[in-house]
Structure 1
Amino acid sequence: MVDADSSPRLTRRDLLRVIALSSGGLALGWVWPARAGTSETPAPSQFEPNAWINLHADGRIQLRLARAEMGQGVMTSLTMLLAEELEVGLDQIQIEPAPIDPVYTNHLLGEQATGGGTSTRDGWETLRAAGAMARTLMIAAAARTWGVPESECHAHRARVYHADGTRSLGYHELVTTAAHLPLPTTVTLKPRSEWNLIGTEQPRLDTPLKVRGAACFGLDVRLPGMLYATIERCPVIGAEIRTWKGQAARATPGVIDVFVVKQGIAVVAETTWAALSGRARLEIECRPLRNAAVTTKHLRARLHLGLDGRASVALSEGNVSRALAESALEIEAVYEVPFQAHACMEPMNCTADVRPDGCDIHVPTQSPAATQALAQRLTGLPPERIRVHTTFLGGGHGRRRELDFVHDAVELSQRLKRPVQVIWTRADDLQHDYYRPMTLHRLRAGLDATGVPLAWFHRVVGPSVLARRDPGRIRDGIDPLMIDGATSLPYRFAHRRLEYRRADTPVPIGLWRGDGHSHNAYVTECFLDELARAGGQDPLALRRTLLAESPAHLALLDRLAEHWAAPLPTGQGRGLALVEAAGSRLALLAEVAVEDGRVCARRFVAVLDCGQVVNPDAVRAQIESGIVFGLTATLKGAITFSDGRVEQTDFGDYPLLRFDEMPEIESILIDSDAPPGGVSPIATPAVAPAVANALLALLGRPFRSLPIRL
C-alpha cells in the first residue's frame, strides 16, 4: 500500500499496476485509448489523462464515478480522494456515472460493483493516483508555457501558480498543452500534512439534489413511450403457475396486455396505478412442485440436524476436546438467527429499452457490469450496444447485487419493443427477496480455575450463500461467507476449533449487510459474555485478557473504559460487543432498559478504527445507519414461513425502527495513518450482541435467539 505521509513516488509501472486489472489490460487500465498512441491528436477542447478525469477547455472538470451511491456517501468520499490530489475544490467537479469497462473493476469484489464496504478501500490509491497524474500534467503544461522549471510551480483550486506570485493559469487554459505532453514517469502523492480535504468534514454532494427532488432514483426514470409493468408471482417457494385468468385484468382501464413471463404473469399498462389495479384482478392458481408444507418450524428442525454429526473443519488450533475435558468448568449454548429481508426503502425496479440496434437499462443496481452481461445473454446484443445507467439507489445492503428485477424489465421490453419500467410492491420485496440466511450455532467453552476460557468450539450450521452466487469459492465444503467473523475472531484461545455444517433450505438467500459477521458476531460476543458471567469476570476485563496480544483492539476498549465504568440509571443494563470486518474494528457499547414488556435501546457509544478517515461526518452517519439497521433486526422482525410462503407482506408485520425509538448515539473515531477500512458493514453486526449482553446484565439471563423476545 502507498504510505502517503512519507511522500511516496509511484513509478509509471506502479500506476499501471494500481489501476489495471490483475490480468492484462494495462494500457486500458491507466491510459484512455486516445492517449495510448503518440500519433493521435486529442481533441483540443478536452483532456482525458486517464479513465477517471475529463478536463474541459470551458472549465468543466468531470469525475467518472464507478460506484453506486446508495446512501453510504461514496459520491462525496470518492470525489474527495480525486479532488485532493488534483488540487481542486469539490464545488469545481462534475460527476458522471462511469461506463461499463474492466478499468472500473472493484478489485476487492472482482467486478464492477458496489458493496461490502469496499468503495473507499478500492479507490484509496486509484483515485488519488489519477488526480495526482492530472495535477502533474497541468503543472508541467504551465511550466512549459512559461519556460520555467516545474519545481517553481504549484497548483490550487484548478489553477497553476508560479513562485513569482504574478503568473497563474487555469487548468482549462492548459488543456491543449497538457494533452500533447508525455505521461509522467513518476507521480508524487501529497503527504498527509498537506491534505486540505481528506480527513475534513465535507457536506455530501448528493444532499442538495435529494433536498430539491432533483436526484434520479430508479422509480423516477421516465422515457418517451414508456410502459409500466408489474408481475404476479407464485407465493409458494418453487411453485409454478398452473392456471390463470386475465380477462378482468385486461378490462382494467389503462391496462394494455397481460401475459406469461419467466417470473409469473405480467400486467402491462399505461400507468403504475393501472398496472397494479389490473394485477389485483388477476386470478391465479399455483401448483407447488415442492416445499408446499414448508414452515419455519420445519426449516429450524432441518438445521438442528446439523448441530450433531460430521462437519467441515474451517480452523483447528490445539486440542479442544482434551482441553474441554480437563477444564474446571464447561459451558455450552445453542444460538439461532432467523431469515431477514433487506427491506430497502425503494422497492426493486428497473427500466429497460431494448431495440434492434441497442439496449439502455436505467436501474438502481450495485452490479452494473453483471447487469450488462445479463442483458447481453437475453438480447444477443454485443456489450458495446448495451448501456447501463445507474441511478441513485434507495438502499441496497446486497439486495441490488441481484438481477431478478433487471431480467423482468429486459424480457418485457424485448417482447413489447417499447421502454418498460417494472415495479415491485412492498409485498413483492418482502416475499420474493434473497434473504439473510437462517443459521444455528453450537458453542462450547472450557474455563480454567480463574474463569478464563482456554478452549473454544464453534459450529456454524446453515445454507451456503456462495453455492448459488460463486460456487468456485467453496473449498472442502466450507462457504467462507458463512464463517466470516468466526474465522477472524481476534481473541486468543489456547485451543480453538471452528466447523461449518452446510444445511441448505429451499429459501433463496443472498448477501445482507455484514454478511457472515451479522450472525457470527452475535453468537460469539454473546457467548463470551456468558463465559464472563459464569467465570465471575467483568466482560470488558475478560476481553482485555483475551486481547493481550492485540494492541489495536485494546485501544478500542481503552476508549470505552470511561463509558463502561460510568454509573447507570436504575433499571438499565449495559453491554458491549467487538467486531472486526472489512478492514475495520469497532467496539460498541449499548445501554438498554425494559419498559412495558419491551426492550428500549437508550444509548450507544461506538469506537471505530477504520484507518484513515476520509469524511468523518459520513463515517459517523454510517455508524448511525448501521445501528438503526441492526436494531431493527435485533428487536423487530424476522422472515417466517407457513405453507411454503413468506408470512410478512408489509411494514405492518415486518416493522422497522421508528423515529421515537431512535437511541442516542456517540461515535468516537480513532485517528490512524493506515489505509481506509470499510464502514458500512461493521456497525450492524455489533448491535445484536451489545443489546443482548446489556439485557444479560440487566435481567440475568442470556438471549440466544433473534429477534429478542422478553
Structure 2
Amino acid sequence: MSTINKNSRREFLKLTGLTGGGLMLGFSWFSAQAETPVVVNEAGIAAGNVGFNSYLSIATDGTITIFSPNPELGQNIMTSFPMIVAEELEADWTKVKVLQAPLDTKSFDRQVTGGSGAVPHSWKLLRNAGATAKNMLMHAAAARWSVPVEECTALNGFVVHSKTGNKLGYGELAEDASKLPVPKDVKLKDRKDFKLIGKEVKNVANKDIVTGKGLFGLDFHREGMLYAMLQRPPAFGTKIKSVDDAVAKAMPGIVNVVTFKNNVAVVGKSTWEVMKARKLVKIEYEKDGNIESTADHDKLFKSLLDTGTVTVRRKDGDVDAAFKNAAKIIKSEYQCPFLSHSPMEPMNFFADVRADGVELVGPTQTPGAARQATSKLLGIPEDKITLNITRLGGGFGRRLKTDYATEAAELSSLIKAPVKVIWTREDDMTGGSYRPAVRYRFEAALDASGNLVGYKLRGVGINSGNPTREDNFPSGAVDNLLIDNVEHVSPITTGAWRAPITNFLAFAEQAFFDEVAHAAGKDPIQFRLDLLQKAKEKPVGAVKYDIDRMMGVTKLVAEKAGWGTKKGASQGFSVYFSHRSYVAQIGEVVMKAGKPVVKKIYAAADCGEVVNLSGARQQVMGGIVDGMGHAMFSKLSFKDGAAVQKNFDTYRLIRMKEIPEVEVHFVNNGIEPTGLGEPALPPTGGAIANAIFAATGKRVKNQPFMEEDVFKNPTVTPNIKTNTKLPKSSFQKTKKA
C-alpha cells in the first residue's frame, strides 16, 4: 500500500472543482478483487493508508468525475469506464464526466491500451467504486432524515425516502457522505436491473472531436517549443556515411540540424519550415547488415518451410502414422505481406528535458514503457519524468512501441530546448514497424469416412517469434496434431499489428478448414461443430478455449445469416477465438462483371457483458472493415531494403464504396466482459475467402486478394453451386423441420 500521489491529487481537486470539499473516492486497479474506496477530504487527506489508483468524485453540484488511466485511441474506453461507475452509482448520466489520467505507475495498474484488456481488467473495480459511493450517499441521507437506510433508494442522482417522498441530490449529500466510514462490503446490482450498461450511449468525446477541440498529440502546443522532423535511413540495413547540412541550416526558421544515432534531425520554428529544409539535407548511406527485398522473402519462405530450423509448439498423438494411413491428404500454403499500421495521426511526441526533470506529452499505448525507455536512455530516474497522455489518432499496435517518444527526449536533451518531433505519412510508412510477412503450410489427413484424423501446421515469419497459436482450435479436437514454426530474423522492423498473429492466421486456418470440409464432403459449419463436439466429449490434450462459447457464436451467426438457404448470394463461414472473446462471421458474395463482390457480412460476437451497445457494435463493424480492407487490398513491399509504397497513393486501403453492409449480433450470456477491440478482425478474411470460393470455385490463398487470379482473370460464368452440393448442418435440418 502507498499514500496518494500529492501532485495528481492536487491536480484532480483543481480540475473537478473539489477544492471546497465534496466526496472523493479512490479505488484500486491492482487487484482482481475490488478494494474499498477511501474518502478524501477537502484538504486532499486520505482517511486511511490505501494505494490510490483512480478517483471517483461527487462535487456539491452533483457532477461525478473519474480519472480514466488507459489511453484512448478510439476503443471507447473513456465512455465505457464512467458508464460502469454510473450504473452502480445510479447516477444522472448527464452529470458524469471523465478525465484522462497522467501516467502514474504508483497509483494506476495496467495503464496500457492493447490486447483488448481494459474493460475486463477494470470491470469489478469500477462497479465496486460506484456501489460504494451510492451506499455512503444513502447512509448520509438516512442520517439526515433519521430513518432506516433500508427505506431509502438511489435513483438518477438522488436518494429518495420511499415513505415520505423526501428527496436529496447527490451533490447535497456529498459533504455528509465524506464524513461517514467507508463500507468494506457493498452489494452490486443484479444485471437484470441494469439501466445504462448494455444500452447505446454516445461517445463522451464526440463533441470535442467534431468541433476540433485539441485532443490529439498533434494538437498539443507549448509556448516556445521547437518543431523537428527526422530523416531516417531510407532502407533497412543501411547507416549514415556522411551528412551535408549547410544549405538546410541556412533556411529561414531553422534553428539547428543534429545528427544522432542513425538519424538527422532538422529543428525549427514551424513544421513547414522544417519540412522544406529537411529535403535539402544531403545524406549518403552505406550498407549495414542484410538488405532484403520482398521477392527474396517469397522464395525464402518456401525454402524455410522445408529446410528451416523447426521449433515444435505442440504435438498430440502419432502424426506420422495418421498421415501414412490416411485415405485422403489435403495440403495448402497461405501467405501474407507486410502491412503498415497506417494510423490517421502519424507518430509525434513532445519532450522537454531540463536539469530538474523531464516532461513528456503525446499519444502512446504504453506510457509506462515510454517513460522507462526515456529513463534508461538519458540516465534520469523515472520519478523525475512526467508523462501526460493525449488522445491517440489510431494506433493498432504501432504506438505500443516507444521509438518516437525516445527520439523526442533524446533530441531535447541534445538541443537543450523543448521540442515536438513530428513524423510525416511517408516517415510513418517507410520507417515504421510493420505487420510481419508470414507463410503457413497446412496438412490434413482424412479417413475413409471423411473424419479429420491428422492435422499439421507450420508457420514461417519475419521477426514474429511464434507465428502460430498452438492451443487454439482445432487443438484438442484432433487425435494426431503437430504445430511448429520456423523463424527468419530481418533488419526490417516488425511489431504487433491489430490482433497480432491471428489477424492473418485466422484467415489461413479458416480457409484451409473450408478446403478440408469440402474434401470430406461435409458442410463447413457442421464440420467444425462436429470437431468441437469431439473436443468436448473426448479432448486430446489441453483445451484452452471455451467450446460452448465457440459453438454458440457459430450457431447464432448461421441462424441470423440463413446459412445455406440464401438465394442469389454465395456464403462463406469463419469463426475464431482471440483475446478471450469469440466471433463468428458469414460473408456473402455476389458476382458483378465476372468478379466477386462482398455484399454483406454477418457477425456474432461473444465478448461477455456488453457495456456500451453502440460502442461495441462500432468496434465489431470497425474490426470487420479493417480486416476486409487489409485482406483484400493492402500490401507493403520492399526493394533493396526500402519500402516501395510510401503513401496512400500506392498503399491501397479499402474505400467507402467497397464497404459492405455489416449486421452484428451479440451473445447475451451474462459473463464478465472479455474484450472486443481486436477479436472481430481475425475471422473476416476467412469468411470472405470462403464466400469467394462458394461463388467462383476458386481459392484465394494469398493476401491481398485483389492480386489473386479470381480478380485478375474473372470468369463470366461463376460457380455458385459449391455449397448446395454438401449436406446441410444438423441445426438447419432441425430449423426446417
Query: If the length of structure 2 is used for normalisation, what is the TM-score?
Result: 0.85
Alpha-carbon offset, residue 41 of structure 1: 7.9
**Using the alignment, how far apart are the partners of 2:27 and 2:76 within structure 1?**
27
Alpha-carbon offset, residue 486 of structure 1: 5.8
Candidates 475, 478, 487, aligned match of 1:493: 478
Alpha-carbon offset, residue 427 of structure 1: 0.9
Q: Is the 8 A contact 1:299 1:505 kept in 2?
A: no
Q: Is the 8 A contact 1:485 1:581 kept in 2?
A: no
| Aligned equivalent of 1:251 | 250
| Aligned equivalent of 2:684 | 687
| Aligned equivalent of 1:665 | 662
**Aligned runs of 1:192-341 on 2, under 5 Å?**
192-292=191-291, 294-309=292-307, 310-341=309-340
Q: Which moved more, 1:162-171 or 1:245-254?
A: 162-171
**Using the alignment, how far apart are the partners of 1:335 and 1:146 within structure 2?**
72
Alpha-carbon offset, residue 393 of structure 1: 0.9
Candidates 696, 699, 702, aligned match of 1:702: 699
**Using the alignment, how far apart are the partners of 2:306 and 2:107 within structure 1?**
46
**Aligned runs of 1:354-433 on 2, under 5 Å?**
354-433=353-432
Deviations for 1:83-104, whole angstroms, at most 9, x for unmatched residues?
1112213321221122323466
Q: Is the 8 A contact 2:37 2:132 kept in 1?
A: no
Deviations for 1:22-44, whole angstroms, at most 9, x for unmatched residues?
8xxx99x7656969xxxx98499
Structure 2 SS opposite 1:308: helix
Matched, 1:621 2:618: yes
**Using the alignment, how far apart are the partners of 1:276 and 1:649 within structure 2?**
16
Q: Which moved more, 1:314-323 or 1:604-613?
A: 314-323
Alpha-carbon offset, residue 394 of structure 1: 0.9
**Using the alignment, how far apart are the partners of 2:136 and 2:124 within structure 1?**
18
Alpha-carbon offset, residue 21 of structure 1: 5.0
| Aligned equivalent of 1:520 | 505
**Using the alignment, how far apart are the partners of 1:599 and 1:633 within structure 2?**
17
Aligned alpha-carbon RMSD (Å): 2.7
Task: Specify whether residues 182 and 349 from structure 1 end up closer, same or farther in structure 2 by C-alpha distance, changes over 3 A only.
Answer: same
Q: Is the 8 A contact 1:486 1:520 kept in 2?
A: no
Q: Is the 8 A contact 1:485 1:520 kept in 2?
A: no
**Aligned runs of 1:157-196 on 2, under 5 Å?**
157-196=156-195
Q: Is the 8 A contact 2:314 2:470 kept in 1?
A: no
Task: Specify whether residues 49 and 275 from structure 1 end up closer, same or farther in structure 2 by C-alpha distance, changes over 3 A only.
Answer: closer
Q: Is the 8 A contact 2:502 2:682 kept in 1?
A: yes
Task: Specify whether residues 165 and 231 from structure 1 end up closer, same or farther in structure 2 by C-alpha distance, changes over 3 A only.
Answer: farther
Deviations for 1:295-338, whole angstroms, at most 9, x for unmatched residues?
11222333333313552222222222111111110111121122
| Aligned equivalent of 2:6 | none
**Using the alignment, how far apart are the partners of 2:121 and 2:473 within structure 1?**
21
Deviations for 1:138-177, whole angstroms, at most 9, x for unmatched residues?
2223333333332222222333222334433333333333
**Residue identity opposite 1:277 in structure 2:** K
Alpha-carbon offset, residue 545 of structure 1: 1.8
**Residue identity opposite 1:126 in structure 2:** L
| Aligned equivalent of 2:674 | 677
| Aligned equivalent of 2:541 | none
| Aligned equivalent of 2:455 | 456
Q: Which moved more, 1:94-103 or 1:49-58?
A: 49-58
**Residue identity opposite 2:59 in structure 1:** H
| Aligned equivalent of 2:489 | 504
Contiguous gaps of at least 5 residues in structure 2: 1-24, 537-546, 710-737
Structure 2 SS opposite 1:265: strand
Task: Specify whether residues 33 and 188 from structure 1 end up closer, same or farther in structure 2 by C-alpha distance, changes over 3 A only.
Answer: closer
Task: Specify whether residues 52 and 265 from structure 1 end up closer, same or farther in structure 2 by C-alpha distance, changes over 3 A only.
Answer: same
Structure 2 SS opposite 1:683: coil
| Aligned equivalent of 1:651 | 648
**Residue identity opposite 2:65 in structure 1:** Q
Q: Is the 8 A contact 1:31 1:50 kept in 2?
A: no
Q: Which moved more, 1:313-322 or 1:612-621?
A: 313-322
**Using the alignment, how far apart are the partners of 2:161 and 2:205 within structure 1?**
35
**Aligned runs of 1:91-106 on 2, under 5 Å?**
91-102=94-105
Matched, 1:70 2:70: no
| Aligned equivalent of 1:580 | 577
Matched, 1:542 2:545: no
Deviations for 1:44-65, whole angstroms, at most 9, x for unmatched residues?
9xxx997331233343321110
Structure 2 SS opposite 1:52: strand
Matched, 1:532 2:531: no
Matched, 1:353 2:352: yes
Alpha-carbon offset, residue 203 of structure 1: 1.2
Structure 2 SS opposite 1:650: coil
Task: Specify whether residues 50 and 557 from structure 1 end up closer, same or farther in structure 2 by C-alpha distance, changes over 3 A only.
Answer: closer
Task: Specify whether residues 495 and 383 from structure 1 end up closer, same or farther in structure 2 by C-alpha distance, changes over 3 A only.
Answer: same
Deviations for 1:636-679, whole angstroms, at most 9, x for unmatched residues?
12121111111110011111111111111111112111111211
Q: Is the 8 A contact 1:637 1:653 kept in 2?
A: no
| Aligned equivalent of 1:600 | 597
| Aligned equivalent of 1:8 | none
**Aligned runs of 1:23-102 on 2, under 5 Å?**
42=45, 51-102=54-105
Q: Is the 8 A contact 1:490 1:547 kept in 2?
A: no
Alpha-carbon offset, residue 505 of structure 1: 2.2
Q: Is the 8 A contact 1:544 1:554 kept in 2?
A: yes
Deviations for 1:659-705, whole angstroms, at most 9, x for unmatched residues?
11111111111211111121111121112111111122222232221
Candidates 560, 569, 577, aligned match of 2:557: 560
Contiguous gaps of at least 5 residues in structure 1: 1-14, 467-478
**Residue identity opposite 2:310 in structure 1:** A
Structure 2 SS opposite 1:547: helix
Query: Could you tell me the percent identity over the aligned residues?
Result: 33
Task: Specify whether residues 412 and 58 from structure 1 end up closer, same or farther in structure 2 by C-alpha distance, changes over 3 A only.
Answer: farther
Task: Specify whether residues 604 and 217 from structure 1 end up closer, same or farther in structure 2 by C-alpha distance, changes over 3 A only.
Answer: same
Q: Is the 8 A contact 2:40 2:46 kept in 1?
A: no
**Residue identity opposite 2:654 in structure 1:** L
**Residue identity opposite 1:515 in structure 2:** P
Task: Specify whether residues 453 and 494 from structure 1 end up closer, same or farther in structure 2 by C-alpha distance, changes over 3 A only.
Answer: same
Deviations for 1:101-133, whole angstroms, at most 9, x for unmatched residues?
346655xxxx42111111111121121112112
**Using the alignment, how far apart are the partners of 2:60 and 2:359 within structure 1?**
30
Q: Is the 8 A contact 1:218 1:393 kept in 2?
A: yes
Structure 2 SS opposite 1:181: coil
Task: Specify whether residues 430 and 138 from structure 1 end up closer, same or farther in structure 2 by C-alpha distance, changes over 3 A only.
Answer: same
**Using the alignment, how far apart are the partners of 1:518 and 1:379 within structure 2?**
36
Deviations for 1:564-619, whole angstroms, at most 9, x for unmatched residues?
223342xx532111111112111111122454576532211111111111111111
Q: Is the 8 A contact 1:610 1:676 kept in 2?
A: yes
Q: What is the number of equivalent residue pairs in this alignment?
A: 665
**Residue identity opposite 1:204 in structure 2:** N
**Using the alignment, how far apart are the partners of 1:41 and 1:19 within structure 2?**
20
Task: Specify whether residues 33 and 287 from structure 1 end up closer, same or farther in structure 2 by C-alpha distance, changes over 3 A only.
Answer: farther
**Using the alignment, how far apart are the partners of 1:56 and 1:232 within structure 2?**
50
Task: Specify whether residues 97 and 575 from structure 1 end up closer, same or farther in structure 2 by C-alpha distance, changes over 3 A only.
Answer: same
**Using the alignment, how far apart are the partners of 1:167 and 1:103 within structure 2?**
42
**Using the alignment, how far apart are the partners of 1:490 and 1:140 within structure 2?**
54
Q: Is the 8 A contact 2:38 2:182 kept in 1?
A: no
**Residue identity opposite 1:88 in structure 2:** A
**Residue identity opposite 1:267 in structure 2:** V
Query: If the length of structure 1 is used for normalisation, what is the TM-score?
Result: 0.88
Q: Is the 8 A contact 1:461 1:503 kept in 2?
A: yes
Structure 2 SS opposite 1:94: strand
Matched, 1:20 2:30: yes
**Using the alignment, how far apart are the partners of 1:647 and 1:49 within structure 2?**
49
| Aligned equivalent of 1:9 | none
Q: Is the 8 A contact 1:64 1:97 kept in 2?
A: yes
Alpha-carbon offset, residue 260 of structure 1: 0.8
Alpha-carbon offset, residue 445 of structure 1: 0.6
**Using the alignment, how far apart are the partners of 2:470 and 2:206 within structure 1?**
34
Alpha-carbon offset, residue 184 of structure 1: 1.0
**Using the alignment, how far apart are the partners of 1:581 and 1:225 within structure 2?**
46
Structure 2 SS opposite 1:514: coil
